[in-house]
Amino acid sequence: MNLRPDYFVIESLTEEDINDGKIFYDAIKSLNKYNPIHRRVSTRIEFEEALLEFAKSDIRYLFISAHGDEENIELIEDNFNAYDLADLEINLTKRRVFMSTCRGGSFLLAKYFIKKGAYSIIGSPDNLDQIVATGMWPTMAMVFERLTEDSLNFRELDKTIKLLAKVYEIRLAYYSFIRNKQEMKEYMYSGNLTRVRTNYPI
């Protein structure tokens, strides 16, 4: 399947939260280059249905906006971890995932998506301030908008993530598989324009 550089947003936040997923959706839709999809979910079943819809679509980028931690995604009415989704039959080959959740830049969540075929996962290993998320993710999308997937190589990603970590004073993690797909690499970025690489077996 030929994938188009567009965004599928799955969001599960209450009215009391800052709905950064909807803000992100509105921001990129205003560029008049994208035709994104926004799905608001409350339960695990609805989340799985949205994830399946994304996997069957021709959209390249998945944006998840919810509460969570290193292992769990917290929805309005449900709480589950990556292991709970292991049996979900989805193919995420060549997709990129953006985790707009607290501690969404974790090994466990990244491992789940990579084992389902995802090319890369970006998120913060720390608690993510929703105010920061409302500015950071659209900024990243603006950079991507100037690139094609062919030119969206690691050098460009590395430069972008370093600057975002510095500007927003946040740690960011970037995960992708190593070519044999038996290992996963983690790049950890901090605000001083440095990164540390670690390889993990998967």
Do residues 197 and 187 make contact, with C-beta atoms less than 8 angstroms apart?
yes
Report CA-CA distances (Å) from 71 to 11, 49, 67, 103: 17, 20, 11, 8
- Taking 50 as the pLDDT cut, the residues of the chain under it are none
Strands 195-201 and 79-81: unpaired
The predicted pLDDT at position 6 comes to 94
The predicted pLDDT at position 18 comes to 95
Q: In sequence order, what are the residues at sequence separation of 6 or more whose Cβ sits closer than 8 angstroms to the Cβ of residue 191?
A: 165, 166, 169, 170, 171
Task: Return the CATH number at 176.
Answer: 3.40.50.1460
Phi, psi angle pair for 157, to nearest 5°: -60, -45
Distance CA 39, CA 41 (A): 6
Total domains in the chain come to 1
Do residues 12 and 76 make contact, with C-beta atoms less than 8 angstroms apart?
yes
Cα dihedral sign, 100-107-94-140: positive
- Mark 147-164 as b/e (b = at least 16 C-beta within 10 Å): eeeeebeeeebeebbbeb
The predicted pLDDT at position 201 comes to 87
Q: What is the pTM of this model?
A: 0.94
Rg of the chain over CA atoms, in angstroms? 15
The predicted pLDDT at position 8 comes to 98
The predicted pLDDT at position 19 comes to 96
The predicted pLDDT at position 134 comes to 95
The predicted pLDDT at position 148 comes to 63
- Residues facing 172 on adjacent strands: 189
Residue-number span of the structural domain to which 25 is assigned:
4-201
